[in-house]
């Protein structure tokens, strides 16, 4: 590639430039992160099997991947106990626990508004939505 064919990303190509919370959303709201953090926050330290019982829809492979990523991101702590048989426990870190107010606010928003979202979806799917106005 020559310099003329290479393009530097514009500021608008960076999601963080358009929305400063985009990196947080990527970290915290990936598919299984929220249920894992919620369970660890609510039930405390747990072994892999306990987490999998509480989140049965996630496959063991994906749960392992998400737990590793959450440990890497500093949102949970993995403790290995060199016993026979070995025991591994997971618990939410202080950094992960700092998300509790955000999750509480989202839980309140969900309780107050998910019914309205479902109503809007039903109306849209039934063709009851209004086309956008042209200026």
At residue 51, the pLDDT reads 97
How far is residue 121's CA from residue 34's CA, in Å, rounded to a whole number? 24
What's the pLDDT at 23? 86
CA distance 60 to 21: 30
DSSP-H helix ranges across the chain: 15-18, 22-28, 33-43, 48-54, 60-72, 94-97, 100-125
Q: What pLDDT score does 7 carry? A: 56
Cβ neighbours around 28 below 10 Å, total: 18
Confidence tier at 17 by pLDDT (50, 70, 90): confident
Categorize the per-residue pLDDT at 8 as very low, low, confident or very high, splitting at 50, 70 and 90.
Answer: low
Closest CA to 44 of 103, 93, 4, 87: 93
Domain ranges of the chain: 15-98
Q: Is the pLDDT of residue 41 over 80?
A: yes
* Architecture of the 15-98 domain: Orthogonal Bundle (1.10)
> What is the reported pTM?
0.73
């Amino acid at each position: 590639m020559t310099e003329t064919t290479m393009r530097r990303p514009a500021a608008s190509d960076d999601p963080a430039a358009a929305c400063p919370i985009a990196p947080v959303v990527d970290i915290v709201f990936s598919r299984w992160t929220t249920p894992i953090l919620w369970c660890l926050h609510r039930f405390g330290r747990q072994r892999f099997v306990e987490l999998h019982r509480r989140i049965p829809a996630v496959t063991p492979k994906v749960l392992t991947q998400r737990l590793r990523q959450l440990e890497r991101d500093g949102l949970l702590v993995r403790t290995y106990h060199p016993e026979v048989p070995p025991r591994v426990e997971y618990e939410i870190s202080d950094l992960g626990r700092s998300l509790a107010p955000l999750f509480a606010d989202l839980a309140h928003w969900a309780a107050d508004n998910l019914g309205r979202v479902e109503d809007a979806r039903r109306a849209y799917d039934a063709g009851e939505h209004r086309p956008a106005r042209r200026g």
